[in-house]
Amino acid sequence: MREMGFDFQRVHNTTPSFRDIYDMENGVIAMNPVTGRKQRMGIGWAFEMPTARDIRDPAALKSYLSQLGEIVKKLGHGHPGLYYVVAGNEDWGNLEDDGHHAPVTDEQREAFQLKLIQTTAENGPAGVIISPEDGWRQATEVKNARTVPGIKRGSLLMSAHDYRGSGKELIEEYGGISVLAQDGQAFPANQKSLLLPGYEFAGDETAMVMGEFGGKSLAPPGAKNVFGYGHVYQDVGLWTRDMIDQLSAMGKIAIMRGGYVMTQWRDAGNKPHRDARPGEPGGELNGILYADGRPKSDPKLWAEANLQNLRRRQLYLQEVFTGRYSEPNQNAVRAPKMLGLTIPSCMEKLR
């Protein structure tokens, strides 16, 4: 992972073991793509509360919140590599079927997220960053231009899940938004998907990430039951070109100042088609690595894209912190909240 330029992992819909955490934080001997020398390098990480698709029943929700609190207590303390906690993902917990139909009102979504935030904050370390429902219809610290009671400013992550087809499309949606975006910043084409009604982007205290993007699958010859976010490829060269095109776009989107999480690190093989035959390859084959850990394409290509992103992001930060960053009608400059200088990262799905 480090040799490909990634330095963070979001562990998706599962919790890492203590050995996993030890390995992530203490690292392994690997080639540092910045210096070209081998050294011990760890990675940052985030864990996600495993979410049943439907926990609308009050007893199920009570059990879920209790388990969330216990997991945050056990994994959230004493680990400097923990960047944030994903208390919920998208509409999970409120889903009715195998699709993403969620027969709940926005008021119910809001109540659910506020409980996730409260439980995580009460059981986590001081200053823990929380993603209440990563990627979709999120509550923030600001509603109707007022700070939400009981939520500390700067405590919530804002995450976009966006599987557009190309890097150009991602840049067109987010690239024009300032690194110094203030309260109420709009996301024109994606506003309804990102935020609950009445809730607003919480300004320069918000650590915003591109929480999921990419996700294109590379199918073996003849496979018919492969799932991917967008196009399913059979040519590894075209797949590599289009995935790195999206990865390279991240350095040109200043507002994603908390980093980015690419889908995904290894082929998971989950969600095969209902008609799949036992043992037939399929499901999500959208990893940068095959399921056995082999890279699908030259690691140097991925490292160079991440390094270019790092250089661009460091320029944004340098300009902000030295006061040289200027925009029309921008009188005062405040350093935005960052999770780190860079978080080029991948998501590891439950396999």
Q: How confident is the model at residue 63 (pLDDT cuts 50, 70, 90)?
A: very high
For position 142, what pLDDT does the model report?
A: 93
Residue 206 pLDDT exceeds 50:
yes
- What is the pLDDT, as a whole number, of residue 274? 53
pTM of the full structure: 0.86
First to last CA, the chain: 17
pLDDT at 208: 87
Beta-carbon contacts of 41 under 8 Å, excluding residues fewer than 6 positions away, are 2, 7, 27, 28, 30, 32
- β-strand partners of 135: 160
Mean pLDDT of 79-106: 81
Amino acid 188: pLDDT: 72
What mean pLDDT is predicted for residues 290-297?
A: 92
pLDDT class for 347, splitting at 50, 70, 90? low
Structural domains for the chain? 2-214+230-236+245-267+296-349 (3.20.20)
pLDDT for position 127: 87
Most confident of the ranges 39-43, 248-252, 253-257, 324-328: 248-252
Report whether pLDDT(350) > 60. no
Name the more confident of 140 and 223. Answer: 140
For residue range 4-51, list pLDDT tens digits in order. Answer: 989 888 988 888 888 888 888 888 787 877 778 888 888 889 999 987
